[in-house]
Structure 1
Amino acid sequence: MRAPELSEETLATGVVALSARDRDLAAVVARFGPPPLWARDPGFGTLIQIILEQQVSLASARAAYLRLLAVIGEPLPERVLVLTDDQLKRVGFSRQKAAYVRALAQAIVSGAFEIDALDSLDDERARSALLTLKGIGGWSADIYLLMALRRADVWPGGDLALAIAVREVKRLRKVPGPERLATISRAWRPWRAVAARVLWHHYLSTPRTRGSARRSA
């Protein structure tokens, strides 16, 4: 069965439900207000952005994506495939990320990967389909499900900003690893994607001197 899609209304419902069962998340909401929906349009362009965001800051990835759009206009697989390695390098793609985006574009053009079909799949099957793509790991697949498909119960366990936020909100002695994060997040089902937004809201709203957390693949 397809997972529910988050909207402004269902996000608010999830925030209320989580606040009632977790006083630490309730404190974040009381201090900073409800989190934004942080939705993205499903499709090729968003997957390009997610690939660019791997291991770099969001600002750096955003700048590279905007430079790409300045060259190709609408982000279509066919337009990416005609770009040379030098063109991709000039807009900010590493050699590895250029290879990932080319492989993604080729998979879509050839029909090997049907990106529009993800919307009809449940979370597990949609995630598995994304993981067949070169350069798409667990974090990238989870972010696409969480933000583009707006699934309500996806937990991106490889996100360092979330791990830092959990340590701060739960007052842990150290930043929890993926296994402990998975254990902690079980209490937030079926609203783990809403909990992630609350925690990101805390992370982004809390003054900090260190740089933005980097994302894994």
Structure 2
Amino acid sequence: MVQFLRTQSDLAAALAKLVAADPRLVPVLEKAGEPALRRGEPGFPGLARIICGQQLSTASAGAIWGRLQAAFDPFDPDALRRARADRLGRLGLSAAKIKSIKAIATALTKGELDLDHVGQSDADIAHATLIRMHGIGPWTADIYLLFCLGHADAWPAGDLALQEAARIALCLKARPNAREMIAIAEAWRPWRGVAAHLLWGYYHVVKRREGIGVATKPAEAKTVRPAARKSTREAKRNGRSKRPGVVGTKPRAAKR
């Protein structure tokens, strides 16, 4: 059965089950404390908002998203599909983001992507479905599953902050790569997303005490995932971006 985190109480209960299953996480929870559950809007607006905020500061992404929402109210995929690229560009979107958002809007309009179905699917199946779409890389897919849907088992294995948090929390000699992170998290099913929330909170506490800045997410093409890899060109398009905070620009991992 697919598990979702809809309330803070859901997260608290899931954390209790997670640390009971893996006692190594008990001191992690003691140090980090219970993370706050942050949720964004599901569906096309939530997914577009994540893409909108890629590679931007929270303030810049918020300003662009505000203009985009005001220009398209209601935020309908068919309206975005038909919108002129130059109009979207004047709102602050880059050419790559315009292409990605319009491609997703087109897929939704044509019935090639059903976000309601994605929202009820197993994490791995939902992830694989999303990354088949132009403009959605592995990291973006998992951020959507975690923060817009509240999926309890989504696992962004390629996120550098999660990798570093796992290294410190589990006393590993080196930061695990995406493939190793997938293996590590197998023991945490069906609460891998809960572990992600916990490790992001732990990372924030540890790095703040050390006075070290927040790491960035990896290029999405480097993330191991169930489906086939994206092309090199798309990897460059997804690029590197700041870790997400609140889903509303690009959710920053350290503040989750």
Q: Same fold by TM-score, threshold 0.5 exceeded?
A: yes
Alpha-carbon contact 1:146-1:193 (below 8 Å) kept = yes
Within-5 A mapping of 1:98-117: 98-117=98-117
Alpha-carbon contact 1:64-1:91 (below 8 Å) kept = yes
1:210 aligns with 2:213: yes
Q: Distance in 2 between matches of 1:157 and 1:9?
A: 25
Q: Distance in 1 between matches of 2:201 and 2:20?
A: 18
Alpha-carbon contact 1:159-1:216 (below 8 Å) kept = no
Q: Which moves more between the two structures, 134-143 or 169-178?
A: 169-178
Deviations 1:12-66 (A, max 9, x none): 1221122234445322322232112222221101111222344455554334322
1:154–1:194 CA distance, 2 compared to 1 (3 A): same
- 1:88, distance to aligned residue in structure 2 (A): 2.3
- 1:5, distance to aligned residue in structure 2 (A): 1.6
Q: Which moves more between the two structures, 137-146 or 193-202?
A: 137-146
1:180 aligns with 2:180: yes
Opposite residue 87 of structure 2, the aligned amino acid is: Q
1:3 aligns with 2:6: no
Aligned to 2:249: none
Alpha-carbon contact 1:29-1:198 (below 8 Å) kept = yes
Opposite residue 67 of structure 1, the aligned amino acid is: R
- 1:211, distance to aligned residue in structure 2 (A): 4.5
TM-score by length of 1: 0.85
1:65 aligns with 2:68: no
Aligned to 1:49: 49
Q: Which has the higher helix share?
A: 1
1:189 aligns with 2:189: yes
Q: Distance in 1 between matches of 2:148 and 2:136?
A: 15
Alpha-carbon contact 1:57-1:213 (below 8 Å) kept = no
For structure 1, the residue ranges without an aligned partner over 5 or more in a row are none
Q: Pairwise CA RMSD of aligned residues?
A: 2.4
Q: Distance in 1 between matches of 2:105 and 2:178?
A: 30
Q: Distance in 2 between matches of 1:211 and 1:92?
A: 25
The number of aligned residues is 216
- 1:84, distance to aligned residue in structure 2 (A): 2.7
Q: Which moves more between the two structures, 157-166 or 87-96?
A: 87-96
1:190–1:211 CA distance, 2 compared to 1 (3 A): closer
Opposite residue 202 of structure 1, the aligned amino acid is: Y
1:33 aligns with 2:33: yes
1:170 aligns with 2:170: yes
Aligned to 1:14: 14
Q: Distance in 1 between matches of 2:116 and 2:20?
A: 36
- 1:188, distance to aligned residue in structure 2 (A): 1.6
